[in-house]
Chain A
């Protein structure tokens, strides 16, 4: 079975310092892979390179047949295929503050995928319910708890139905009970055929919920 994501000898330099030297990993469909390592080891940098938010210096990244090469990040007009394949959940959630939880999820459905308001609302309501925040659909981001905001952010990333979901430190602000619930949610998502790459320094979470872990050193 071919891998959904292939990272091959990825190298990223900041100010003549190697942040990532030669990272290689694969994520298959239906698989959760944890990217482990202490702060500053380059976990977030690796996710940002896969999401084409930042350039890399050497190596290759292939997402479901879409290849990224070293050098400057290509213009958005040439990244449409990648954007459809990859969703990213930021550590700080980065919800759009001027929109309700529901509209955070529907915005891309309506304006990128061209769905009608009714269709987008239906998809978003279903997603929010599955993630157990259906009752918070009308809330503003500033009214959400950390855990709620995270689940709304997951729903937003999942709305365009990407094959690969990237998550940056999803357990950083969660208590143990919430962490278990999140793990169960992620497991359910990958059973739908997605691949998940989760950057975390939480060894317990990685051991309990991921299929494999890749260790980075600082």
Chain B
């Protein structure tokens, strides 16, 4: 009796919320009866994945949770999916790209502080995966001193690894997706992966149950939540009510069982939530570092400086490689035999005609069956081989800019072709090439941000991590821009000076 009246009160509450929600949704999206939700289908099953039967549709337990929420909000409402990159869910929901973010979104203090967050609807365990050889040696994070441990960037797991780096001296490696950490574990590039247990189990299934083992002892426990814009707290309360209803009537359990992610811990979570009427275990993780903006800036300066150092190192090594590759290609094109000329031309056109991002993936992941390059080396190789093609064209143009009569004068004086190149043609070509080379280096400095896709944490990546942590791009973006400008502006000035000095003069 008592329970019935409580439920009755709650249902009334839901209806009131639904009314205000209907108005809000129809005003915001011009389409009533639709709950627009955002997730990342790249994250894949069991969260959200493209439906193999109809790739224009998505499926997964988060998809069904979203459908259940839409249905529970009433009014014949349906859920409509919007694709968003996982790490941008928070930013996009504040921007209004969609109303509800739902795709393995973790419950953290920082997120609760900045957005309207639903109650936890799923409990996950952070588990370690290691190669079979290591399973008797590695039992928890403390056993990974000095070893490389991979995870997804901007997650609770990443924060755990950062904390462990400071206490145990292990090396965290941050990925942009949750597939490649396991591939790199099997390939021997990393020694362990720390991620959510359902991600680990999925990866193990994908590899046919071989290649690595999942340690049974969890490192931590966390929860998935839905995230809404801060201003949408009323709608959030409605969704919480729907989630409680779905826990109570067994529909959520059915969804989890359908996707094989149901176990006793979910039952425990449901029971705690229904008993207390609030979030069970509370949010994990640490609050955003530093309470005030100046304190945040100071806290992040060392990591930004380190990332800027990585950017500079990658750029300088890549440019050095590009210069040698460019010289070899240009010589081949100008002095080589016909087959060599065709070969060098083909290389240059292939490199210039395909995206650098693709080349990075091919070198890092595509070649990993043949040679397992460390990320930094792969980054330098990809950038150097790519820019080498552009340098080659600069050198060719510069060599051709040296007048023919000077080359003939050198011949009449008895210089060999090699001497002419070394003593007459090369030194002058270098002067023509210096300004465009400096410009290319500035471009390379910025293109080096692409290497974050293969786990190199350089300036742009570090800024993205920083921005995710503080929940805004304003200060991190400005800081990042200042550092890039501090590196590129002097170079651009140098290029202009060189151009004035050497570039304008006729040969």
Question: Is A88 within 8 A of B505, CB to CB?
Answer: no
| B362 proximal to A (CB < 8 A) | no
- Contact in complex: A97, B408 (CB < 8 Å): no
* B76 → chain A closest CB, angstroms: 80
How many chain B residues touch the partner (CB < 8 A)? 21
The answer to whether B408 and A90 have CB atoms under 8 Å apart is yes
From 315 to 349 in chain B, residues with beta carbon under 8 angstroms from any chain A beta carbon are: none
Kindly list chain B residues whose C-beta atoms are within 8 Å of the C-beta of A17: none
Q: How far is the CB of B411 from chain A (nearest CB, A)?
A: 7
Given A84-B414, A96-B424, 13 further pairs, Cβ under 8 A: A83-B411, A83-B413, A87-B412, A90-B405, A90-B408, A90-B409, A94-B405, A95-B409, A97-B507, A98-B424, A108-B414, A112-B414, A142-B505
Q: Which of B124-142 contact A (CB under 8 A)?
A: none
Task: State whether B423 touches A53 (Cβ < 8 A).
Answer: no
Where the two chains meet, the residues of A that have a C-beta atom closer than 8 Å to any C-beta of B are 51, 53, 76-77, 80, 83-84, 86-88, 90, 92, 94-98, 107-108, 111-112, 142, 156-157, 160
**Contact residue among A83, A94, A96, A97 (Cβ-Cβ distance under 8 Å from B414):** A83
- Residue of A76, A77, A156 ringed by the most chain B CB atoms within 10 A: A76
Residues of A contacting B290 with CB < 8 Å?
none
Which residues of A lie under 8 Å from residue B410 when comparing CB positions? 96
Are B414 and A80 in contact, with the CB atoms below 8 A? Answer: yes
Q: Given A97-B406, A98-B431, A111-B419, are A86 and B413 neighbors across the interface (CB < 8 Å)?
A: no
Q: How far is the CA of A80 from the CA of B419 in the complex (A)?
A: 14
Question: Does the CB pair B412–A53 fall under 8 Å?
Answer: yes
B428 in the interface (beta carbon within 8 A):
yes
B411:A94 contact, CB within 8 angstroms? no
Chain A residues, Cβ within 8 Å of B415: 108, 111-112
Residue among B411, B419, B428 with the most chain A CB within 10 A? B411
Q: Does B263 contact A (CB under 8 A)?
A: no
The answer to the question of B416 belonging to the interface, with a C-beta cut-off of 8 Å to chain A, is yes
Could you pull out 12 A-B pairs where Cβ atoms are within 8 angstroms? Answer: A77-B416, A80-B414, A83-B411, A88-B409, A96-B406, A96-B424, A97-B406, A97-B505, A97-B507, A98-B424, A108-B414, A157-B412
User: DSSP majority for the B interface?
Assistant: helix
Q: Is A112 in contact with B411, judged by CB distance below 8 angstroms?
A: no
A76-B413 contact, Cβ under 8 Å, with A53-B408, A94-B405:
no
- B428 A98 Cβ-Cβ under 8 A: yes
How far is B408's CA from A15's CA once the two chains are assembled, in angstroms?
22
Asked if B472 is at the interface of the complex by the 8 Å CB criterion, the answer is no
- Residues of B close to A86: CB separation below 8 A: 412
Q: Give the chain B neighbours of A77 by CB distance below 8 A.
A: 416
| Assembled-state Cα–Cα distance A157/B408 (Å) | 12
Is A156 touching B413 in the complex (CB atoms < 8 A)? yes
* CA gap between A1 and B427 in the complex, in Å: 45
Which single residue of chain A is at the shortest CB-CB distance from B431?
A98
- Residues of chain B within 8 A of A94, CB atoms compared: 403, 405-406, 408-409
CB distance from B186 to the nearest CB of A (A): 55
- The answer to whether A160 touches B414 (Cβ under 8 A) is yes
Instruction: List B residues 426-445 near A (Cβ within 8 Å).
Output: 427-428, 431
Q: Nearest 6 A-B pairs (CB), nearest first?
A: A83-B414, A94-B405, A108-B413, A94-B409, A112-B414, A88-B412
B417 within 8 A of A: yes
Tell me the minimal C-beta distance from B435 to chain A in angstroms. 16
A151: min CB distance to chain B, Å: 15
In the assembled complex, the Cα of A107 lies from the Cα of B424 at a distance in Å of 10
Closest chain A residue, CB of each to CB of B427: A98
Pairwise interchain contact A112-B413, C-beta atoms closer than 8 A: yes
Do residues B413 and A97 form an inter-chain contact, with CB atoms below 8 A?
no
Give 1 or 0 for each of B389-417: 1 = CB within 8 Å of chain A CB. Answer: 00000000000000101101111111111
Distance between B289 CB and nearest chain A CB, rounded to angstroms = 55
Residues of A within 8 A of B403 (CB): 94
A76 touches B411 (CB 8 A): yes
**A51–B423 touching, CB < 8 Å:** no
CB nearest neighbor in B for A97:
B428
